[in-house]
Amino acid sequence: MPTDTPQPAFVLVRPQMGENIGAAARAMWNFGLDRMRLVAPRDGWPNPKAVAMASGAGRLLDEAQLTADVAEAVADCHFVMATTARARGLTKPVFSPERAMQVAAERIAAGERVAVLFGPERAGLENEDIAKANAIINVPVNPDFPSLNLAQCVLLTGYEWRRAQGAITPERVDMARADWAEQIEIEKLADHYEARLSEAGFFFPEHKAEGMRLNLRNMWSRMPLTRADVQTLHGVLRQMVRWKDRGD
């Protein structure tokens, strides 16, 4: 059975190749989507080539709803969006994929059912299909090569759905079993380097010494150091001093 997670239905309209249906299922499941609807697949249904391509997402194919036309596929929906890379001469709201999935999330949170139409591989959705939609999702592709593979378009839209759920962290650091150094540890590292550099005559000429020390302190504070980093830098300096002493 489909998950209970509120989400849009992805409607593949007259898909031509079983492989692309399977790849679309895989792309959907990558982003936690499992409501697939199929409108008149060219090669019939079920299709063993779709199952082979789904690679672990075969459950979506088993539970996919098969319909004869777009009207039947979206009959229970309150809001429908149609993906297309081309202007169609139809007066409709046009969303970027990002905004479209934000709108979908808002409407679904309000209790509405939302569907997204994806056209067949060769030519995309027909105007008759798009006329049944409330809005268009326009993918900002290269105008000289606007054709998107079906599964690619599903993947892109699924990713934006995931983003709209706040499930993607824009930036993070994988700590790999490390801890960030505390300020006292960085302060001691700065003291260590300053002392050894002073002994080596680094802070010269004298009238520039204060500014040089300040720049070094500022450099340490900008560096995101782990405790292991601090220990390594202490070790580097100790070994350089030992090496110098042996050379004497």
Q: Tell which of 164, 198, 226 closes a domain.
A: 164
Which pLDDT belongs to residue 87?
59
In this prediction, residue 141 carries a pLDDT of 85
**Cα distance between residue 102 and residue 11, in whole Å:** 18
pLDDT in tens, 45-99: 999 999 999 989 999 999 999 999 999 999 999 999 999 876 567 899 999 999 9
Give the pLDDT confidence score for residue 151 in this predicted structure: 94
Same domain, 200 and 91: no
pTM of the model: 0.76
Look at residue 1 in the predicted model and tell me its pLDDT: 61
Residue at 24 is within a domain = yes
Contacts of 85 (CB under 8 A, 6+ apart): 124, 138, 139, 141, 146, 147, 148
CB 42 within 8 Å of CB 120: yes
193 and 155 in a single domain? The answer is no
Q: Alpha-carbon distance 212 to 220, whole Å?
A: 13
38 and 145 share a domain? yes
Range of the domain at 114: 9-164
Question: Is residue 44 a part of any domain in this protein?
Answer: yes
Counting as low any pLDDT under 70, the low residues of the chain are: 1-2, 86-88, 247-248
Q: Are residues 20 and 97 in the same domain?
A: yes
| 116 and 61 within one domain | yes
**What pLDDT does 169 receive?**
77
Does residue 187 share a domain with residue 158?
no
CA 176, CA 22: separation in Å to the nearest integer?
Answer: 35
Domain count of the fold of the chain: 2
